[in-house]
Amino acid sequence: MREITVSRFKANLKNYTDQAISDHEPLRIIQKQGQDFVVIGAEDWEQLQETVYVLQNANLMRQIKQSAVSHHKGEGYCPTQEQLDEINSL
């Protein structure tokens, strides 16, 4: 994670926020007084929230684990080519 001072951030607010959004890299803003803060694009924030939700959902994590085990064994659901074509056309 890149870090800059709050004064540098304020002087180039638009450039730093645009860069955080386009690079998908959070930017830590360091303050002399008070707590530091992080600038992150809204899309990246939403993806992080979805990841946290999945990781905190024990039932969903269990399903993912079971799916990985059956996949490695070559078992489980196998869609037809027609179904794959339909899914890929979405």
Secondary structure class of 2 (helix, strand, coil):
strand
Q: At what angle do helices 58-73 and 42-56 cross, to 10 degrees?
A: 80
Q: What is the pLDDT of residues 36-89, one digit of tens each?
A: 999 999 999 999 999 999 999 999 999 999 999 998 998 888 889 999 999 898
Q: Taking 90 as the threshold, does the pLDDT of residue 90 lie above it? A: no
- Helix (H/G/I), strand (E/B), else coil: 29: strand
Instruction: Let me know how long the chain is.
Output: 90
Task: Look at domain 2-40 and name its CATH class.
Answer: alpha beta
Q: Is the pTM of this model over 0.95?
A: no
Domain boundaries, the chain: 2-40, 42-75
All residues at 6 or more sequence positions from 71 whose CB lies less than 8 Å from its CB, including other chains: none
